[in-house]
Amino acid sequence: MRPTLYTFSGAPRGWRVLLGLAFKGVGADVKTLSVSNQDHKKPDFLALNPRAKAPVLTAGDTLLRDSVAILAWLDRAYPDNPLFGETAEDAAVIWQIAMECREYLRKGNQKLLSRAFFTDAQVPSEGTEDHQSFQAEAALVHTECRYLEDLLSDGRAFLAGSKPSAAEAVAFPEIRLLQRAVETKNDLMTAAGFGYPPDLYPKTADWKNRLNAMPEVAATMPPHWNEDTSLAKSA
For 134-156, how does the pLDDT look when each residue is reduced to its tens digit (9 = 90+)? Answer: 999 999 999 999 999 999 999 99
Please state which of the four CATH numbers 3.40.228.10, 3.40.50.720, 3.90.420.10, 1.20.1050.10 is assigned to the domain occupying 88-227: 1.20.1050.10
For 194-234, how does the pLDDT look when each residue is reduced to its tens digit (9 = 90+)? Answer: 977 667 899 999 999 999 999 999 999 999 998 543 333 33
More confident: 234 or 81: 81
More confident: 195 or 167: 167
In whole angstroms, give the CA distance from residue 82 to residue 21: 11
Q: Does domain 4-77 have CATH number 3.40.30.10?
A: yes
Residues 6+ apart with CB under 8 A from 180: 225, 234, 235
pLDDT at 199: 77
For 104-140, how does the pLDDT look when each residue is reduced to its tens digit (9 = 90+)? Answer: 999 999 999 999 999 999 999 999 999 999 999 999 9
Domain locations in the chain as residue ranges: 4-77, 88-227
pTM recorded for the entire structure: 0.93
For 20-66, how does the pLDDT look when each residue is reduced to its tens digit (9 = 90+)? Answer: 999 999 999 999 999 999 999 999 999 999 999 999 999 999 999 99
Per the CB < 8 A criterion, the answer to whether 74 and 26 are in contact is yes
Across the chain, what does the average pLDDT equal?
Answer: 93
